[in-house]
Amino acid sequence: MQQFFRRRSSFQSISRSLRRYHAGARLRIPWYRTGCAVSLLTGAVMVSLMLNGTIENDSKGRRKIIVIEDDDEDDDEEVQETDEERDERLERERLERVRNKPPLSQIFNISDFEYVAKQILPTGTWGYYSTGSDDEFSIRENHYAFGRIFFRPRCLVDVSDASTETNEIFGVKASAPFYSTAFAGSPMAHPDAEYNILRACGRENIPYLIPFQLSFPLNEFMESASPGHQNFHQVHFYTRKQVEEGPEYLGKIEKEYPDIKAFFINVDLPCLGNREKDCKIRAALDPSVDDEISVFASLDTRYEPLTWKDIDRLNKSTQIPIVLKGVLSKEDVLAAAKLGLGGCLISNHGGRQLDFAMPPIEILAQSRKLLRENGIQDKDFKLFIDGGIRRGSDIIKAICLGADAVGLGRPFLYAMATYGQPGIERAISILKEEMLRDMKLLGARRLSDLNEELVDIESLKFKGISSSDYLYNSNYTQMPPPPFRKRF
């Protein structure tokens, strides 16, 4: 199967700056004052005017301020940089930020990693990592939806021995109900790429959804896994031939890597979503830089669409549970359960595929209810979600609404880009600490105590309405406009 190997490169930053223009003209602004009347000009403006001008009387004895601006155009003229000079300057500034980034001890939440990554990553890399599709409603709504769910804590509960440890999920017992999900492009964040994630997850005892589009040969990569560290494996197919050979590939993994406990098969890739912001940012880059990024972000990439018939055939070929990755309707969740699959990962691909796809947390609430109405118990069919999770409280909300575990992608990517493996370990630790604290405040000792009675979801259905989240909004990168040939 196709493997993607490590690539190291340095990317130039891009930026757009506005040029200042000065009128350089003699400006006369009359200021009238009669009795105790107050001028329309504020005191602050008046002070500024008086400091930069002179006061005279007009022919009727009224006072006026004359402001003189320097009309020496040579003094105000700004020398415009060439594109090459600008790029070199911005790259120097970026490298200076890299050298002076905050110490890891100053990182207190997941969004802090994102902030630092935005400041130090090359513009093209940041654009590829942070982009969604089209107008990016789904990528924003993934996060905002959690802000419409509120807690209903219970009191007088002995939570002195509270724990975030999970029950077994496909034989995997982890220290917390979350995992690092699969994503492409790790070498742009760190030269050790996915090795950082595998080792950090092993040390913190949480699963890693090992990507099919891995940067290293799978056999070499798995040699770095901690003894007994159990993981999942994400799979997709580029051609019909690969689909036909799928049972052979799954059988090989099952035989050679006994610590891989589930296959997560992408079912949301009949074509790539329109990742417009990423395309706009890369279009403005030097072509050689864009070539490096396009290894992971090429619009020419094609995946082989799958059908229920394909999934049924793959499921019958292996004893390892198969999870459908990228399900977006409760009806498909029920169909997967009836087919005898292991579970579904409810996901809109981090908002990178179909824009305006519903937030996974909302589909999760609908799906678990539908499964129970059809007699399918939680232990028989597992539900996962990813997308928009930034706090331990977000994970708790998902568990309350029926998730067995949740995936995080970008947060661990940003942690790796900024601080390598120690950054990922710190991110995992932060989420565990937040979960444990919030479980105690909720009156929950174990994950099994988390249920829908502890959350209020009345506001969840009101899309587009959310409290302002400063941490999230300050890190969000807006869609850039088309650039003019000349900078103004």
Query: Which of 366, 310, 362 has the alpha carbon at shortest distance from 341?
Result: 310
Radius of gyration of the chain (CA): 28
71 noted as active-site residue: no
Q: Which of 144, 278, 349, 386 is catalytic?
A: 349
Look at strands 178-180 and 405-408 and give their pairing: parallel
Residue with tokens 């506001």: 459
Smallest CA-to-CA distance from 262 within 320, 336, 333 is with: 320
Helices 276-283 and 287-297 cross at an angle (nearest 10°) of: 160
Cα 185 to Cα 7: distance, rounded to the nearest angstrom = 10
- Active-site residue identified among 238, 257, 303, 476: 238
User: Catalytic annotation on 268?
Assistant: yes
d(CA 112, CA 52): 43
**Cβ contacts of 444 within 8 Å, gap of 6 or more:** 154, 157, 159, 162, 450, 454
What is the spatial distance between Cα 223 and Cα 231, in angstroms, rounded to a whole number? 13
Instruction: Write down the catalytic residue from 87, 192, 268, 386.
Output: 268
Q: For residue 10, give the nearest of 105, 124, 86, 119 by alpha carbon.
A: 124
Q: Catalytic residue numbers?
A: 238, 268, 349
